[in-house]
Amino acid sequence: MLPCRFLTCAIAACFVIAMPQAQVALAQPAKPVSFINDVAPILKENCFACHDAKKKSGKFDMTSFEKLLAGGVNGEPIVPGKPEASEFHGLMVSADQRRMPPRDKGEAVPKEQAAIVAQWIKEGAKLDAGMDAKADLVKELRIRFKPPVPPKEYPFPAIVNALAFTPDNKQLVVGGHHELTVWDFATGKLVKRIYTRSERAYGLAFLPDGKLAVAGGRPGQEGDVRIYDIEAKGKDQDGVEILDGVNDKKVLVKHLFDVEDSVLCLAVSADGKILAAGGCDRAVRVFDLSEGLEKAKLDQVVENHADWVLGVAIIADGKYLLTAGRDKTAKVWDLKGKDSVVTFPEHQNIVYGVAGKADGSAGFSVGADRQIRTWKPNGEGKQVRAVGGHGNEVFKIVMNPKQPMLATSSADKTVRLWNADNLAAGKTLSGLNDFVYAVCFSPEGDLVAGGSYDGGVVVWKVSDGSTVKAFNASPGYVAKTDPTPPKK
């Protein structure tokens, strides 16, 4: 199974607890309760799982205001002005066996939240002025979401899910919490912070013109791919440059797409003309960037996996799209012929990552079975070789851009190097103290970086495995921890 800590559970790292709007309403009783700002978020959290357009438990879909008032099999559940006569509220606070959410299915709605719903009904169960009663509430809530401004100093470390060296080989971009952070890795100094709408970055790739493509999301809420100019001018905050990638159009240069859940992986072809991104909606969206960012267009949506797409790579001059799936397979899609050409089933467990040789002669995949497996992208999905070595699940595999070398990262807290021609084991790189979710090579291929669950980042030299720098990439958190990992 997918370890809970991977991708889904935000608890430990999600420290910026957005103050529920509902509490704000309570603190200001004079202001009437807003349906969309105060009530809808409560319904989304407690009810939509069973009462949306898909599930409709009791034939009751509450994801639009109109449908909410209409109710289910028993008819209108809300009597405006009368919370005590409204089944809708009654079921939330019911002490009887029949409660909502059903007793065996979830916790009761917190008292303060039920009180807000009661107050809203008492005030007439009105919709906010200017809103369409037919509007999809999930979408309306998503539009209204305002990303929090990242704190100057993180009280807790943020998971590192993605890393990328800058094209000049001098800095490292790290996915933070609603931001990207840029580090001078020779000194371990934070130089730049780029605020993002996305809570987490899961995939980073520089385009040939130096712009940075970022795949990310907010677990279970939204996902997107946006492109940033991290060289744009920012504001100084105590020696660190702050770029507003949420609102500043000079920083956020392109918004390629967004979807209802996280986008988990991203790849750009060697010539920068194709960008592919996949995620929780099981699809990989492939964009044609050959006429520049301005004219970027969606070329195809590849729905080739039965579950989340966890990894992507583009090889053979844009001919092959390699994908890794939670459905326990690695696959090859012919981007030109628009056809599925290989399904590789040997992992028999979650496949987290894929990579391939640039010339298209070999594909590689890693997963929960702890194996690195290689196969032919143009063959029949037959395994050529498999090797073990990692002591736990393997999350990512990346190809060195300058030499036949692979790097893998694992839940065993290490990054390992491999010969891409024969899968002979190279160096095992240690220094990280938790699951290593992210790994990448520098553009020159001389350095490799790993990032872990506890915010740790280490940069190693490929040639001898020596550590260039180890630091915690959660801003301000550095001061409270020992940046050098304990020596064993």
Chain contacts with ligand HEC (rule: CB under 6 A): 46-47, 49-51, 57-58, 60, 71-74, 77, 87-88, 91-92, 98, 100-102, 105-106, 109
Is the distance from CB of 202 to CB of 265 less than 8 angstroms?
A: yes
391: how many CB neighbours lie within 10 A of its CB? 12
Residue 65 beta carbon to ligand HEC: minimum distance, rounded to whole angstroms: 14
Question: Quick one: 42 or 232, whose CB is closer to ligand HEC?
Answer: 42
Of 66, 244, 70, which Cα lies nearest the Cα of 150? 244
Residue placing its CB nearer to ligand HEC in the complex, 45 or 288: 45
Our CB check for ligand HEC shows the closer of 100 and 411 to be 100
Q: How far apart are CA 133 and CA 65, in angstroms?
A: 5
Cα of first residue to Cα of last residue in the chain, in angstroms, is 31
Q: Report in angstroms how near the CB of residue 307 gets to ligand HEC at its nearest.
A: 22
Closest contact distance (angstroms) between CB of 67 and ligand HEC is 11
Q: What is d(CA 99, CA 430) in angstroms, rounded to the nearest whole number? A: 52
Question: Is the CB of 79 or the CB of 270 nearer to ligand HEC?
Answer: 79
Pairing of β 189-195 and β 222-228: unpaired
For the chain, state the CA radius of gyration.
Answer: 24
As measured in angstroms, the least distance from the Cβ of 199 to ligand HEC is 24
Q: For residues 153 and 451, give the distance between their C-alpha atoms in angstroms, rounded to a whole number.
A: 19
Q: To the nearest whole angstrom, how small is the minimum distance from the Cβ of residue 55 to ligand HEC?
A: 8
* Residue with Cβ nearer ligand HEC (60 or 333): 60
Amino acid identity of 295?
K
Could you tell me which of 342, 230, 324, 242 has the C-alpha nearest to residue 282? Answer: 324
Q: Report the candidate in 460, 424, 455 with the shortest Cα–Cα distance to residue 438.
A: 455
The candidate with the shortest Cα–Cα distance to 477, out of 75, 120, 159, 141, is 159
Strand 240-244 and strand 189-195: the pairing is: parallel
CB of 120 vs ligand HEC, minimal distance in Å: 12
Cβ distance to ligand HEC smaller for residue 88 or 352: 88
| Residues contacting residue 98 through CB under 8 Å, at least 6 positions apart | 91
Nearer to ligand HEC, 50 or 266 (CB): 50
CB of 51 to ligand HEC, least distance (A): 6
Minimum distance between the CB of residue 139 and ligand HEC, rounded to whole angstroms?
19
Of 106 and 219, nearer to ligand HEC (C-beta) is 106
